[in-house]
Chains A and B, each alone.
Chain A
Amino acid sequence: MEIPWDLLALSPPGWGGNLLRGLASTVQIALGAYLLGLAIGLGGALGKLYGGPVLRVSLEVYTTLIRAVPELVLILLLYYAGTDLLNTALESFGYERVDIDGLWAGIYVIGFVQGAYSTEVLRGAFLAVPEGQIEAARAYGMSWFKSHVRIVIPAMIPFAIPGLANLWLITTKDTALLAVVGFSELALETKQAAGATKAYFMMYVAAALLYLALTLVSTAVFSWVEKYYRRGQPDQG
């Protein structure tokens, strides 16, 4: 059996271009979802640490529920519930129903799930900041807000980075789940390419290699970022 390399050519009839386009939308969705997740996580962590009892309990429910239910189930639930809620809201304000664009729906769904995980990572990182540094900031007369922007958050970042790097890798791989709901990203493009060409083995290996390359590049970037943020800290082991 010979290997039909020309099926991977970048222009049709090759499917290489489709795979690369899929990779591009995977990266887009992952980036957007990661940033959304970080924003939710930052808010969630601060809420869990400083919020009142109601906020704290509801955040606890959010993180526990999201982390106990499979991502695939959450993605389906959030996708239907999200579009439903949006359309109900639009209709009640007298607008027409809309179809949410795949890219934004993917970002919102994955971001909402990742938010629960980032909340926990960031909460742990906040708790790791030495008490003395916060007290020193207060002794300088900084307000709560200023001491957080200037001292606590920058000091928390090096503790958070290993966990956040892990989350980024999980996010990129979670985007593949969107293929099940029918968003066109790398996994779905591959499935279509494989189905059309019948070269199942080659197409899936190609997709796996693309994901692997994404992971390896991300790992390299994160180790550089970590080194940057750890500057001035004593070496650990």
Chain B
Amino acid sequence: MQWDWLIEYAPKLVEGLWLTLQLLVLSIIFGMALAIPIGLVQVTGPRPLAWAAKAFCTTIRGTPLLIQLWLIYYGVGSLFPFIPGIRESFLWPVLRDAFPYALFAFSLSVAGYEGEVMRGAFRGVPKGELEAARAMGMRPFTILWRIWLPRALQNVFPTLAGEFILTLKATPLAATITIFEVYGVTTIVRQETYRIYEPLLFLAFIYLCLTGVLVVTFRYFENRIPKRRV
């Protein structure tokens, strides 16, 4: 085992790690922002919306993320140049970069999986609490913001924490569309140093640490959720 490459590539690895974290955090934020309405309309929404949300979740959960990623980057990306004048528009620098595509694909994936989780979460909040809120004279939006959503999130917090760790473990896929996050950087290391095991083992160690940090962070927040002692 040789580890001397580690010093040479350290700055690149740190950059890659930063990119991984950006991808993870941003896709969780955008994904959850989508997942909450997707879960909600499946519980209370009008029939067509509920049906559309259900179809979205099934499609996302039924196809590999790798295919979704390639479909969005290569597939949708290959359609853009057909739009006349798009190369001159201000959007082109964004559309030419791979990161927005990855972020979009990962956000959709988070939305699909967590939409399903949120559906169960919204349904799991006791009716009495919502009726009590209504009896206090809260408007529907206030009920959602003050009672329904916080209670739903509390109930599924451990599930969501597990799902976010799965999202972390999916981020290396972004390397297949030319994003050099930490996995992508180690592929470069492997190609340039001809070492197979060291970079991969180091990578496994990095992800182990990341998972550990996430688990501890989520547990901290989980413990802050007030629980009724039984």
A binds B: yes
List the interface of chain A (C-beta within 8 A of B): 1, 65, 68-74, 76-77, 80-81, 169, 173-177, 179-180, 187, 190-191, 194, 198, 200-205, 207-208, 211-212, 215-216
Which secondary structure characterizes the binding site on chain B?
A: helix
Q: Is the CB of A70 within 8 A of B171?
A: yes
List 19 interface pairs A-B (beta carbons < 8 Å), by A numbering.
A68-B212, A69-B169, A70-B168, A70-B170, A77-B200, A169-B61, A176-B64, A177-B66, A179-B66, A187-B70, A198-B78, A200-B75, A201-B75, A201-B78, A204-B75, A205-B75, A208-B71, A211-B62, A211-B64
B149 at the interface (CB under 8 A from A): no
CB pair A190 B67 closer than 8 Å: yes
> Which of B34-42, B86-94, B201-209, B221-229 is the interface stretch?
B201-209
**Total inter-chain residue pairs, C-beta < 8 Å:** 107
Are A173 and B64 interface neighbours, CB within 8 A? yes
Residues of A with C-beta under 8 A to B196:
80
Please, how many angstroms separate the alpha-carbon atoms of A202 and B75 in the complex? 7
Closest to A215 in B: B62
Determine if B68 is an interface residue (Cβ-Cβ < 8 Å).
Answer: yes
A173 and B64 CA atoms in complex are apart in Å by 5
B208–A200 touching, CB < 8 Å: no
Task: List chain B residues, Cβ under 8 A from A173.
Answer: 63-65
User: At the interface, yes or no: B82 with Cβ under 8 Å from chain A?
Assistant: yes
Query: In whole angstroms, how far apart are the Cα atoms of A164 and B226 in the complex?
Result: 33
B76 CB within 8 Å of chain A: yes
**Contact at A215–B61, with CB atoms within 8 Å?**
yes
Q: Which residues of B contact A191 (CB under 8 A)?
A: 70
Contact yes or no, A204 B169, CB < 8 A: no
- Decide: A201 and B171 in contact? CB cutoff 8 A: no
Q: In whole Å, how far is B174's beta carbon from the nearest beta carbon of chain A?
A: 10
Give chain B interface residues in 167-205, CB to chain A under 8 Å.
168-173, 176, 183, 196-197, 200-201, 203-204
CB–CB A77/B67 < 8 A: no
Contact residues of A: prevailing secondary structure: helix
A80 to B76, CA, bound (A): 34
| Chain B interfacial positions (CB closer than 8 Å to A) | 58-59, 61-68, 70-71, 74-79, 82, 168-173, 176, 183, 196-197, 200-201, 203-204, 207-208, 211-212
A1 to B170 alpha-carbon distance, docked (Å) = 34
| B-side contacts of A70, CB under 8 Å | 168-172, 183, 207
Are B75 and A72 in contact, CB atoms less than 8 angstroms apart? no
In the bound complex, residues from chain B placing their C-beta under 8 Å from that of A190 are 67, 70
Q: Are A65 and B67 in contact (CB under 8 A)?
A: no
**Structural contact, A212 and B200, CB atoms closer than 8 A:** no
Q: Are B197 and A80 in contact (CB under 8 A)?
A: yes
- Nearest-CB residue, chain B, relative to A199: B78
A80 to B160, CA, bound (A): 33
How many whole Å from B183's CB to the nearest CB in chain A? 7
- With a 10 A CB-CB cut-off, give which of A179, A208, A215 has the most chain B CB atoms: A208
Picked from A68, A72, A177, A201, the residue with its CB within 8 Å of the CB of B211 is: A68
**A204, B71: Cβ atoms closer than 8 Å:** yes
Q: Which single residue of chain B is at the shortest CB-CB distance from A77?
A: B200
B203 contacts A200, C-beta separation under 8 Å: no
In the bound assembly, the distance between CA atoms of A203 and B79 in angstroms comes to 13
The answer, among B77, B183, B201, B208, for a CB contact under 8 Å with A72, is B183
Closest to A198 in B: B78
Q: Closest CB of chain B to A195's CB: distance in Å?
A: 9
Instruction: Find out whether the CB atom of B67 lies under 8 angstroms from the CB atom of A211.
Output: yes
A205–B58 Cα gap in the complex (Å)? 15
Note all chain A residues with C-beta closer than 8 A to B70.
187, 190-191, 194, 204
Of chain A, the residue at the smallest CB distance from B208 is A68
Which one, A65, A180, A194, contacts B74 given CB within 8 A? A194
Q: How far is the CB of B191 from chain A (nearest CB, A)?
A: 13
Shortest beta-carbon distance, B208 to chain A, in Å?
5
Residues of A within 8 A of B204 (CB): 65, 69, 73-74, 77
Once A200-B78, A212-B62 are accepted as A-B contacts, the answer to whether A207 and B67 lie under 8 Å apart by CB is yes
Chain B residue with Cβ nearest A173: B64
Q: A81-B197, A201-B79 are in contact. Are A187 and B67 (CB under 8 A)?
A: yes
Instruction: Kindly provide the distance from the CB of A221 to the nearest chain B CB, expressed in whole angstroms.
Output: 14
User: Complex Cα distance A200/B82, Å?
Assistant: 13
**Are B207 and A68 in contact (CB-based, < 8 A)?**
yes
